[in-house]
Amino acid sequence: MEGVQHRMVEVNGINIHIAEKGEGPVILFLHGFPELWYSWRHQIHALSNMGYRTVAPDLRGYGDSDIPESVDSYTCFHIVGDLVELIDVLDPHERKVFVVGHDWGAILAWFLCLLRPDKVKAVVNLSVPFLRFDRNIKPVELWRAYYGSDHYISRFQEYGEIEGEFAWVGMDRVEKEFLTDFPVLLPRGKLFKRPLDEPITLPCWLSEEEADYYVTKFQKTGFTGPLNFYRNFDRNWELLKPWVGCKIETPAKFMIGDKDLVYHMPGMKNYIHNGGFQEDVPCLEEVVVLEGVDHFISMEEPQKVNEYIFDFFSRFR
């Protein structure tokens, strides 16, 4: 990672690790699960060479950032609070940046636009559109009704339970399984489709060296911090009720792979393509569906993603 600088930044009462490169307007990259700042390595290099200052943090609970112990420390308000203070540190004059998010990073980017639109010039989100909350049904209950109790989000809810199963399987295996073929279901006693004695063939876009970077970090930190994001889905639903019906007014672009598990959730295609998404995000300027692409879009098709980001943000410089 030539030229990438690393440092710790104190924000919102915790220390956040950031990787950064380049000069110019700031692009803040927000990763998902089970990822790190490193998932944006292709974008950091490309966009920094195109005249931007690229910054990718490890979100709280991940990598080299602090890992608060309490599950309650991972609500949307805590994490958006981290991002607001980080933006002020990165750009103390304008206090406003471009944002790119993927997976949980996209969810948080939408929350940031909803709660503090003054902090975001424009947003490009990958894989997860703005999620319209049902007023009456908690999100975890909704997914459990669709998929059953083995759905990965349902399985993540009980503190310590899935961590124990992951530890039994081994961090190396767990991380590579998620990066290779993100599982919708995690049945007890047989978490993954492949037998544990069957070797994993990594996808062409992920080398052993790259996969080992993730494995090394998660072997050190474990998964409890990242899983606590999921354990706050219902809490976030409660906290955000005052914002039900509010629109995302930030200029936005959205990209998703046609093989992404999110794209195939019940009702998702209809929401994205038939007016619901545009209604919730009136300044949504384009939806791009990349053929043959799965969930980890920024690593699977980095050149296309880089070009889309550059072309969109160039209009707002």
Q: Which residues are annotated as catalytic?
A: 103, 230, 295
Beta-bridge partners for 175: none
| Spatial contact of 259 and 293, defined as CB atoms under 8 Å apart | yes
Q: How far apart are CA 262 and CA 103, in angstroms?
A: 9
SS3 state of residue 2: coil
Residue 188 carries which side chain, given as an amino acid letter? R
- Omega into 34 within 30° of 0, i.e. cis? yes
Structural tokens at position 125: 């989100």
Q: How far apart are CA 18 and CA 55, in angstroms?
A: 7
Within 10 A of 127 (CB to CB), how many other CB atoms are there? Answer: 26
